[in-house]
A = this chain, B = another copy of it.
Amino acid sequence: MRDVCVIGLGLIGGSVLRAAVTSGRKSWGAAAVSGPVPGSDADTASADGYDASADVADALRRAALTDAVVVLAVPLTAVRPVLALVEEHAPGCLLTDVTSVKAPVRDAVREVAPSVTFVGGHPMAGTAESGWPAATEGLFDGAAWVTTVEEDTDLMAWKEVAALALDFGARVVPLDSETHDETAARISHLPHLMAAVLAAVGAAGGPVAAALAAGSFTDGTRVAGTRPELVRAMTEGNREALLPVLDEALGALGAARGSLASTGGLASTVQTGHEAVRRIAEQRLAPRTTLRVRLAAPDARHALRAVGERGGRITAVEGDAVVAEVP
């Protein structure tokens, strides 16, 4: 097992460091300067007994010495300067990331850190909390963890990143970056914007709205409590994919408005939404068949992406193949 070097010790990076240590890998981390108090995540991680510092360059030099997997766990806005440090101090390393947007990170790596072997990653896990104190070693247990498969992806490197995510208890979902970004816009970035809008409209109702708010409002606005910089980084960073999804939502909400104003009916909006949650629940519970994908096969990249696109997941690495469960 390779060593693990984590750059960024917030909620996600901190959870990666904790999970990597628990998995038995020699692991260390460095806090990037993007947190609310520079260095504070490194101090608290050290106080909790982890090998952590605020010296990113030093952490990367150690990674280069032991050929460690480097996990980039900083917000999208901090990716480029950290990539420059990776290229300087750990050229040629195996690099993965946990950023919520994949195409922009891939493009930044190609530009700023062309020497590294990169496999994009995104664990679909999080809470409204931020920073090392919120990190837990079990954060990824049962969570989907996207690992990108592009035409130029080194599948032996991909396998190592998949094995790391599997070690953390995650279900590995292979996708190309664009499919990930469109899907993330639908199931994460749009929900964050809708929650922000809902919170603003609710608060405009004054203290009585605060007093009456119950389940539907609390559920619908929960993620609006996330640190604004993180929400901005993920939504603004996924602009290309988010714009058409935002237009779908505006179209659907505008249609509801038009229907309510004209006929007074909301049957289509309500029924469509109800069937959608039912269909999603069914898809998540659908029976699955097991198949193997040989990574040396000529169509391996296509086969891996097909697993993810069909709602499937990788459950194990076995030699030069992976085991997949597909609905």
Binding site for B on A (CB under 8 A): 124-127, 143-144, 146, 173, 175, 179, 182-184, 186-188, 190-217, 219-228, 231-232, 235-236, 239, 242-243, 245-250, 252-254, 256-257, 260-261, 264-267, 269-280, 283-284, 308-313, 327
Contacts and interface: CB of A to CB of B under 8 A. Distances in A.
The CB with the most chain B CB atoms within 10 A, among A197, A207, A266, A274, is that of A197
Q: Lowest 9 CB-CB distances: which A-B pairs, in order?
A: A196-B273, A207-B311, A203-B276, A210-B283, A199-B276, A191-B216, A191-B220, A187-B217, A186-B205
A264 B246 CA distance: 13
A188 B211 contact: no
A224 B190 CA distance: 16
Contacts of A231: 266, 270, 274
A266 B232 CA distance: 6
10 contacts: A183-B208, A196-B269, A199-B273, A199-B277, A207-B311, A208-B309, A210-B283, A215-B223, A224-B274, A225-B277
A310 B215 contact: no
Contacts of A184: 212
